[in-house]
């Protein structure tokens, strides 16, 4: 899943593709590099980000979705808002990637159920301006048990709204109300998330837990633009653990790594 951020303030590439033409051209490059799905988002969810107006998000997202879907791409819309989900699906989006899992706007579940789109429900505890204050997992089993329980609740809500089980995908939400240690525990505990019975989407590309892993000699985290090798290594790990899709910024690096893995598995299934 290639990331198309149509935002001025995303943590990795905010502002690079905020104009429609630049975002469409970027999406086309990602397709040429091997993306299976293009995830188009108009709201930054980096820690501390403020939300755009609904009208702003619609103006950013819908023209890009329409253009890329018109090219024949499988397009996902990255939104928490039912209004944006409805408009994006009408413009050709086949997937609604909701980082709030229906908590920010419960009406989004009805919109998806009526639309026939695939729904991705991510683990989420609050908006970007306060989510890191919610990174506490004191129950027995820690973060993995909590995320399994809370995602199970979101899956039940999606199914109750009429979204078929075969159109429901779950995402553990790396970096959302999570410390670096929480993120690593979730990657290690993917088997427990698989046990919920739905495909998994995981997005760890260039995130801060990779930067903190790769600290320099002075103790400072590796800069966002210098985390790609670790992101590619994470792609391979996630693929070997059977996730449905891996959300990445650098599609070519991940696609090349997966080609190597696929060729090796032809020799040793």
Burial 32-48 (b: 16+ CB within 10 A, else e): eeebebbbbbbbbbbee
Q: Which of 111, 112, 86 is nearest to 168 (CA)?
A: 112
Name the CA dihedral angle for 63, 68, 70, 75, rounded to a multiple of 10 degrees: -100
Answer yes or no: are the C-beta atoms of 244 and 266 closer than 8 Å.
Answer: no
178 given a catalytic annotation? no
Catalytic residue among 86, 167, 206, 247: 247
3-state class (DSSP) for residue 175? coil
Query: How many other C-beta atoms are found inside a 10 Å radius of the C-beta of residue 78?
Result: 29
Containing 41, the helix (H) or strand (E) segment is: strand 38-41
Pairwise CA distance, residues 62 & 54, whole Å? 12
Number of H helices, E strands in the chain: 10, 8
Burial 203-212 (b: 16+ CB within 10 A, else e): bbbbbbbbbb
Query: 62 — phi, psi (to 5°)?
Result: -60, -45
Answer yes or no: are the C-beta atoms of 65 and 92 closer than 8 Å.
Answer: yes
3-state class (DSSP) for residue 188? helix
Q: Which of 44, 39, 43 is nearest to 68 (CA)?
A: 39
Cα angle at 58 between 62 and 7, to 5 degrees? 90
Catalytic residue among 60, 207, 222, 227: 207
Give the residue numbers marked as catalytic: 207, 247
């Amino acid at each position: 899943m290639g990331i198309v951020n149509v935002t001025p303030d995303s943590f990795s590439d905010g502002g690079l593709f905020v104009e429609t033409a630049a975002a469409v051209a970027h999406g086309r490059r990602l397709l040429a590099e091997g993306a299976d799905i293009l995830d188009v988002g108009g709201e930054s969810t980096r820690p501390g980000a403020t939300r755009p107006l609904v009208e702003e998000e619609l103006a950013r997202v819908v023209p890009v979705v329409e253009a890329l879907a018109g090219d024949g791409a499988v397009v996902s819309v990255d939104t928490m808002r039912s209004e944006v989900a409805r408009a994006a699906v009408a413009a050709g989006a086949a997937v609604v990637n909701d980082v709030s899992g229906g908590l920010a706007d419960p009406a989004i579940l009805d919109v998806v159920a009526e639309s026939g789109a695939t729904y991705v429900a991510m683990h989420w505890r609050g908006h970007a301006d306060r989510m890191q204050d919610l990174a506490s997992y004191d129950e027995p089993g820690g973060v993995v048990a909590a995320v399994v329980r809370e995602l199970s609740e979101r899956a039940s809500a999606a199914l109750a709204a009429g979204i078929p089980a075969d159109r429901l995908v779950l995402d553990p939400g790396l970096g959302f109300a999570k410390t670096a240690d929480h993120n690593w525990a979730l990657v290690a505990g993917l088997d427990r998330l698989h046990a919920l019975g739905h495909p998994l989407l995981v997005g760890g590309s260039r995130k801060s837990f990779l930067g903190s892993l790769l600290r320099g000699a002075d103790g400072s985290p590796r800069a966002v633009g210098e985390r790609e090798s670790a992101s590619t290594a994470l792609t391979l790990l996630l693929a070997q653990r059977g996730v449905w899709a891996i959300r990445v910024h650098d599609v070519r690096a991940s696609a090349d790594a997966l080609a190597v893995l696929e060729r090796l598995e032809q020799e040793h299934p």
